[in-house]
Amino acid sequence: MSEPLLRVEKLSVEFKKFKALTDVDLCVNEGEVRVVIGPNGAGKSTLMDLITGKTKPTSGKVYFRGEDITGKEPYVIAEKYKIGRKFQNPNIFNMMTVYENIEVALSGYNTVFKSLFFRRTPETRAKIDTVLEKIKLSGKRDIIASSLSHGERQWLEIGMVIAQDPALIILDEPTAGMTAAETYKTGEMIKELLAEHTVIVVEHDMDFVKQVAQIVTVLDQGQLLAEGTFEEIEKDPRVIQVYLKDDAEQ
């Protein structure tokens, strides 16, 4: 069997004697959509922080394409290993156009020095056009970002991540605050990304999870509770008890 794109082994982190994550194992294969779910405080975002270098682990290892990236700085993980992350709240340039937001996210803008000497070329324009098509915002390329709907702002930030050519994209609750129609459209957008990217999604909306997930990882109290297909997870008594019980009773 080939090496997984991402491998997490016995990953743990402790904050002032509080165990936020304990001995978590995770393997994500190239070209996969992995969805991570769990109750509030389960350790989902902490796990993403450890993968992307925002937080340093107390113990355990993170491997990307077989290389140990444990504890490396976030900019190294983003730029050298091509792991891109979108947080829950859109982080975009409100007073720039949609087109300009994608432009500043291009790899040529990784440093101030590079940005000073950046020039638009036919290749960069073509790349921006491609990203805009992927996030369904080609028709709003000249719109100021602050004028976009909440869902469109989320898509724009996904586009800014895509523009950096990540091998792995991490999306933290990408459908938060979206309408049902926007949520479904986001799911279809994520599935289209699989031709060129691997995706990890942290999410609560179970209809969305069912729409996109190939494998679901369930965390509870900082530990791995269960893992499997959506159909397996929704029938797992442990998951029903700690996470799906309230949904089932509604």
Q: Where are the domains of the chain?
A: 1-82+171-250, 92-165
DSSP state of 71: T
Q: What is the pLDDT of residue 249?
A: 41
For residue 218, give the amino acid letter.
Answer: V
pLDDT at residue number 248? 45
Cross-sheet strand order for the sheet of 223-228:
83-86, 168-172, 198-202, 33-37, 215-220, 223-228
Residue 183 Cα to chain centre, angstroms: 15
Give the pLDDT confidence score for residue 250 in this predicted structure: 38
Rounded Cα–Cα distance for residues 111 and 106 (Å): 11
Q: How far apart are the C-alpha atoms of 11 and 131, rounded to whole Å? A: 34
Q: What is the largest CA-CA distance in the chain?
A: 59
Q: What per-residue confidence (pLDDT) applies to 17?
A: 84
**132 and 98 in contact (C-beta within 8 Å)?**
yes
Q: What is the pLDDT of residue 94?
A: 93
For residue 86, the number of C-alpha atoms closer than 13 Å in the C-beta half-sphere is 31
Q: Which residues of the chain have pLDDT under 70?
A: 1, 107-119, 246-250
**What tens digit of pLDDT does each residue of 57-85 get?**
999 999 999 999 999 999 999 999 999 99
The Cα–Cα gap between 104 and 16 comes to 39
pLDDT recorded at residue 107: 56
Q: Which CATH class is domain 1-82+171-250?
A: alpha beta
In three-state secondary structure terms, 193 is: helix
- Asked whether the beta carbons of 232 and 209 are under 8 A apart, the reply is no
